[in-house]
Amino acid sequence: MNNNTINSNRMDLLLAAVKGAKFAGLTTATETKLNKTNGLKGDERRSNPFHGKVLSIRNISALFNYDYDGNVAKALSKQDKDASEHKKGTSWMRNVLDENGNLSPFCEHKTNETKYLRLRTLHKGNTVYVAKDRIELDDGTIINAGDNIDFESIRPFFPAKKAYSNQGLDKGTEIAATTLKFESVRGLRINGERYVIRQNETDAAGVAAVIAGFVHDMPNVTAADVPADQTATV
Q: Which of 166, 175, 130 is nearest to 148 (CA)?
A: 130
Q: Which of 66, 70, 29 is nearest to 207 (CA)?
A: 29
Beta-bridge partner residues of 190? 193
Q: Which of 187, 186, 185 is nearest to 221 (CA)?
A: 187
The backbone torsions φ and ψ at residue 141, rounded to the nearest 5 degrees and listed phi first, read: -65, 135
Write the CB contacts of 158 (distance below 8 Å, at least 6 apart in sequence): 33, 34, 35
pLDDT means over runs of 10, the chain (234 residues)? 87 96 96 93 90 97 95 94 92 95 97 97 95 93 96 94 86 93 96 91 89 93 75 80
Q: How far apart are CA 68 and CA 93, in angstroms?
A: 13
CA dihedral of 185, 189, 195, 201, whole degrees rounded to 10 = 10
Q: How far apart are CA 233 and CA 227, in angstroms?
A: 10
